[in-house]
Amino acid sequence: MDLLQRRLADFAAARGWEPYHTPKNLAVALSVEAAELVEIFQWLTPEQSARVMEKPETAHRVADEVADVLAYLLQFCEVLGVDVLDALAAKIERNELRFPVPGEPTPDRHSSE
C-alpha cells in the first residue's frame, strides 16, 4: 500500500499537480469516481449486477473505476496523514462492538481499563 501511495505521489509531483491535491479537491474527485462506479450499476437488476464481471467490457470499466476510487482515496490519505489500513482496522473494531453477532455475548468495553 505504501508503495502505491508513493507512486501516486511521485506521479502527481512529476506533473506539478500537488497544488491541486488539496483535501477538498481529492474528496470531490473521490466522490466523482465513486459515482462513476455507481453509474455502471445504475439500471441493472440485482442479478445482472452480480454478473457484471462476466462481460469483458463491463469488467474493464468496473476495474478502472475501482482503481480510480482507490487512487483518490490513497492520495487523500497521503495528504492528510491518515494510515488507511490503521483507520480501517479501527473502524472494524468499533463496528464489531456496535453490531455484535446475534446470540454471542457482547464484549465488556471497560474490561481492559
Q: Percentage of the chain with pLDDT > 70?
A: 94
Tell me what pLDDT residue 102 has.
92
Please state the rounded mean pLDDT for residues 15-25: 97
Please state the rounded mean pLDDT for residues 47-55: 97
How confident is residue 113, by pLDDT bands cut at 50, 70 and 90? very low
Computed over every residue of the chain, the mean pLDDT equals: 93
CB distance 52 to 62 below 8 Å: yes
Please state the rounded mean pLDDT for residues 60-70: 98
